[in-house]
A and B are shown apart, each in its own frame.
Chain A
Amino acid sequence: MKIACTINGKRVEMDIDPRLRLLDMLRETLHLTGTKEGCGEGECGACTVLMDGAAVNSCLVPAPQADGTEILTIEGLAEDGTLHPIQQAYVDTGGVQCGFCTPGFIMATYALLLESPDPTEEEILSGLEGNLCRCTGYSKIVEAVHLAAERMRKVA
Chain B
Amino acid sequence: MHYQRLASERELLDGLAQPHAAILCGGTDAMIKIRAGLLNPSLVLDVSRIESLRGIRRNGDAVEIGAATSETEILRSPLVRDTLPLLGQVLVQLGSVQIRNRGTLGGNIVNASPAADSAIPLLLFDTEIQIVDRSEERWMPLESFFIGPGKTALESGQFIRTLRIPIPREGGGSSFHKVGKRNALTIAIASLGSLIWTTEGTISEARLAVGSVAPTPARLRSVESALRGRMLDDALVADARQLITSSISPISDVRASAEYRKNVIGDLLVRALEAL
Chain B minimum-CB-distance residue to A1: B3
- Give, as a whole number of angstroms, the nearest-CB distance from B256 to chain A: 19
- Give, as a whole number of angstroms, the nearest-CB distance from A84 to chain B: 20
- Give, as a whole number of angstroms, the nearest-CB distance from B72 to chain A: 7
Chain B minimum-CB-distance residue to A44: B185
Which of A6-14, A75-83, A92-100, A124-132 interfaces with chain B?
A: A124-132
Assembly CA distance A21 to B32 (angstroms): 11
Interface centre among B26, B44, B97 (most CB of A within 10 A): B97
Report, as a range, how many residues of chain B touch the other chain: 20 to 34
Assembly CA distance A1 to B28 (angstroms): 22
Assembly CA distance A41 to B96 (angstroms): 12
Partner of A57, one of B1, B24, B44, B98: B98
Chain A: how many interface residues by the 8 Å CB criterion? 30
- Give, as a whole number of angstroms, the nearest-CB distance from A125 to chain B: 9
Partner of B27, one of A19, A40, A61, A129: A61
Assembly CA distance A59 to B36 (angstroms): 13
Partner of A65, one of B5, B92, B96: B5
Is B185 within 8 A of A43, CB to CB? yes
Residues of A within 8 A of B97 (CB): 55, 108, 111-112, 126-127, 129-130
Can you give 24 A-B contacts (C-beta < 8 A)? A1-B3, A18-B1, A18-B2, A40-B35, A42-B28, A42-B185, A43-B185, A45-B96, A54-B72, A60-B27, A60-B28, A60-B32, A60-B102, A61-B27, A62-B27, A62-B31, A62-B46, A64-B46, A65-B46, A108-B97, A111-B97, A126-B184, A129-B185, A130-B95
